[in-house]
Chain A
């Protein structure tokens, strides 16, 4: 069950990444960056934490699994090193002027037209923080 749930969470993260690509295609770069960092990253982390915290823990089985896991993913550090060398090696294209104009338009709309949204966002984040704090409050 856990593996299937984890696959679902990872699949959701990949869906967010694909949505990010679509957003770039539809000329919404700022929203795309938000989607990639928040939805693909943060929400995946929240899901994986929730899944790992809602499973029954059998300590002996966990120790065996931990050993197996390290054996299974021996190639990950090598992949990470290769990916780092590759990403540092490639030359990224410079942003064009149209993209800059678009971002400044978004900034103007957020700060001048939809400034009440920012207050709403702050209120929602505060409410969520308080909600989570209340849920995990120790007696």
Chain B
């Protein structure tokens, strides 16, 4: 049986997770800079990581969620490395990373 204090903790940090996720979405929607867009994705991933750890703590199954979080971190690194490479390539080809000026594929 889960204690009431743990459920309260989940509620508080659950709201925090939602807020962090919304900050990531806001960052993605508002910015025109590709590097900042990747930072937005990263912030959203941080929210999900915190949620996983929180669920592991609440359910008492911390070991299992840690394995998942490690997998998530590896995927995160791979995504960021490739995204960074793509941003650098775009800058080399177009001379800018402003999405308003990247209109080559615009129909």
Check A132–B35 contact: CB distance below 8 A.
no
CB neighbors of A among B62-96 (8 A): 62-71, 73-82, 84-89, 91, 95
Q: State the total of A-B contacts with C-beta under 8 angstroms.
A: 136
Among the interface residues B43, B68, B73, B86, which one has the most CB atoms of the partner chain A within 10 A? B73
A and B contact pairs by CB, cutoff 8 A, 25 listed: A15-B46, A23-B69, A28-B53, A28-B65, A30-B66, A31-B65, A31-B69, A31-B70, A34-B73, A38-B76, A39-B77, A54-B35, A54-B87, A54-B88, A102-B62, A106-B66, A113-B67, A114-B71, A121-B71, A121-B75, A125-B78, A128-B77, A128-B79, A135-B89, A136-B88
The prevalent SS among residues of A at the interface is helix
A-B contacts besides A26-B53, A54-B91, A131-B85, 15 pairs, CB < 8 Å? A8-B39, A15-B46, A16-B46, A28-B56, A31-B49, A31-B73, A34-B70, A34-B73, A35-B73, A42-B77, A43-B77, A50-B84, A53-B91, A124-B75, A131-B82
CB neighbors of B among A1-52 (8 A): 5, 8-9, 12, 15-16, 19, 22-23, 26-28, 30-31, 34-35, 38-39, 42-43, 46-47, 49-51
Total number of B residues with any Cβ neighbor in A under 8 Å: 43
With A30-B70, A35-B73, A128-B78 as given contacts, are A15 and B43 in contact (CB-CB < 8 Å)?
A: yes
- The residue of chain B having its C-beta at the shortest distance from the C-beta of A30 within the complex is B66
Residues of A within 8 A of B (CB): 5, 8-9, 12, 15-16, 19, 22-23, 26-28, 30-31, 34-35, 38-39, 42-43, 46-47, 49-51, 53-54, 56, 102, 105-106, 108-110, 113-114, 117, 120-121, 124-125, 127-128, 131-132, 135-136
